[in-house]
Structure 1
Amino acid sequence: MNRYFVIPRAELQPYVDRLWGWESELAQPMPPMLPGTGAELMFHYGDRVFLRSARHGVIDPGEAFLPGTRHGPCELLAQGRIGFISVRFRSGALRHFSPLSLIELANRPATAGEVWGDAGRQLAERIIQAPDRNKRVALLEDWLLACLARHGKQQPAIEAAIRALYYRHREVKIDALADEIGMSRRNFERVFREQIGLTPKAFQRTARFHLTLRNTLLAGRSDYLDAALAHGYYDQAHFIHEFKGFVGKSPTLFLQAAASMAHFYNPSIFSPDKVPFPR
């Protein structure tokens, strides 16, 4: 399996963590895609792939799709040669590129055609026909910049709230955060949900789960308790309860299975204080 990632152009870095992909001449088991605060837009140029989740069963997502993992995990089921490139959007950043709201996209997988119409379908076809990785990256970056110019939003208060809830998830309080950005709690919760597709509290919980599991898997450990406590879980029982809600099984069972396979988490490219802020 050949894995790779590309740091996007500077103009995209406040919104896109990386472009990344996997390639293999043979079908191989793919690790599950787990809930998080960002989003993936995947373009598959290998053989056919299916998407399986508890909520939607097994579906054919086409060549370009958003997996829709906000409320539960999903699996990619490769039917042969694997080849895909994916855009990993930062927390809440998909809204700057999508004509649809994140509420509309939160609960289900969606094809690029459903979201971007003919432009999404045409891009998927061009990605499939591209001769190499460099051309695919260039096509994606040009298209993303065009989407950003059309759909980008100037929302510094929401951007500040996203970063606080993600990087300071252990200590931040919703009332204090709303006051910090100059909004009432009720208005903050309404605007945040409209833009991000989750309430601030749900976003904070998802960030805590995501970062705990990410740190555990990147460390190559099956002992999760230290990471869970470091990210603000009260005790082991608290983390197990949250984990089952997000994944549908206990962390022990999941991590035992994960020890023998790869995962989709990556070390950060930027430290939290160096992540570019949208202009």
Structure 2
Amino acid sequence: MSTNVPTPSLGIMKKQQGERKFQLSRHAPSEDLAFFIRHYWLVSWDLTGQAPYTQHVIPNPCVNLVVEPGKSAIYGPGREKFGQYLEGKGWVFGVKFKPGGFYPFVKQPVSTVLERPIGIDEVFPFDVRELEREIWAATDTEAQIAIVEQMIREKLPAKDDQVALVNEMVERIGEDHEITKVEMLCERYGIHIRSLQRLFDQYVGVSPKWAIRIARIQHAAETVDLSRAHDWSKLSMDLGYHDQAHFIKDFKSIVGQTPEAYAKKD
């Protein structure tokens, strides 16, 4: 149940630098929950005697259930990078739902349900403070996962074919850099653009155009993080941009700085 899965950055900016400040592990869900859940993640840190550290993350089209002392909630896809402030000693446990995987639990358009963080107890029959205490008291990660999975199973919905379709679409967007426009996705799946937009609004909470855009920027940031030399023209072409200026504009709108500035920043 808790076998570690590979840890690509998945939007974690400057991951190698951050891992000197915190520990991250990801774990696969049990088979009966894998239709809805991508993985569990656990971040812990001990910066005792050190300066605080902010880890920035590029958003992705997934809903996350986050358990953190005094801050537990369910969060939808963001619109721009966000920062996790790490200070002293602490931990965060998360459930990353697959794209579309959270909708069957609420049966409301994810775009409207998650305009703000919502309480875990608004969706799952569990006292939030008790959940935090149980996760903290658990002896290991497997025990933590078992607690969360028991809670989720009490509200487990029937499988929804649209979840599988949406998840396949988002995976294809991430893997196929030739998909640069919503119309291309429509053509691949034989679906009208309005129908696709409604599907994403209901199940994912963001537009397919945003999902395409964010996948390209995630890939760009990870490429920059893993390389010493940078050819911005080639990278923009590899990501399907027609010109470098458009790529730089998109990158800056999400990351907050140009690719060149991001590459130089410590």
Interval of TM-score (by shorter of Structure 1 and Structure 2): 0.7 to 0.9
User: Where does residue 101 of structure 1 map in the other structure?
Assistant: 109
Structure 1 counterpart of 2:64, which letter? Answer: E
Are the structure 2 counterparts of residues 146 and 2 from structure 1 closer, same or farther at C-alpha, using a change threshold of 3 Å? same
Q: After superposition, where does 1:97-246 map in structure 2 within 5 Å?
A: 97-98=105-106, 100-113=108-121, 115-116=122-123, 118-119=125-126, 121=128, 122-147=130-155, 149-150=156-157, 152-155=159-162, 156-171=164-179, 173-175=181-183, 177-217=185-225, 219=226, 221=228, 223=230, 225=232, 226-246=234-254
| Residue 24 (str. 1) matches residue 45 (str. 2) | yes
How far has the Cα of 1:135 moved from its partner? 1.1
Are the structure 2 counterparts of residues 228 and 176 from structure 1 closer, same or farther at C-alpha, using a change threshold of 3 Å? closer
Are the structure 2 counterparts of residues 98 and 30 from structure 1 closer, same or farther at C-alpha, using a change threshold of 3 Å? farther
4+ residue runs of structure 1 moved beyond 6 angstroms? none
Are the structure 2 counterparts of residues 214 and 99 from structure 1 closer, same or farther at C-alpha, using a change threshold of 3 Å? farther
Unpaired segments of 5 or more residues in structure 1?
Answer: 46-61, 261-279
RMSD: 3.0
- In 1, the alpha carbon distance for the partners of 2:94 and 2:140 equals 15
| Identity fraction in percent | 21
Q: Is the 8 A contact 1:21 1:83 kept in 2?
A: yes
Q: Is the 8 A contact 2:37 2:96 kept in 1?
A: yes
The size of the alignment, in residue pairs, is: 239
2:59 aligned to 29, 35, 38, which one? 35
Q: Is the 8 A contact 1:103 1:193 kept in 2?
A: yes
| Secondary structure at 2:64 match in 1 | strand
Q: Is the 8 A contact 1:38 1:89 kept in 2?
A: yes
How far has the Cα of 1:212 moved from its partner? 2.4
How far has the Cα of 1:241 moved from its partner? 0.2
Unpaired segments of 5 or more residues in structure 2?
Answer: 1-21
How far has the Cα of 1:31 moved from its partner? 1.0
Structure 1 counterpart of 2:63, which letter? Answer: A
Q: Is the 8 A contact 2:108 2:202 kept in 1?
A: no
Give the TM-score normalised by structure 2: 0.73
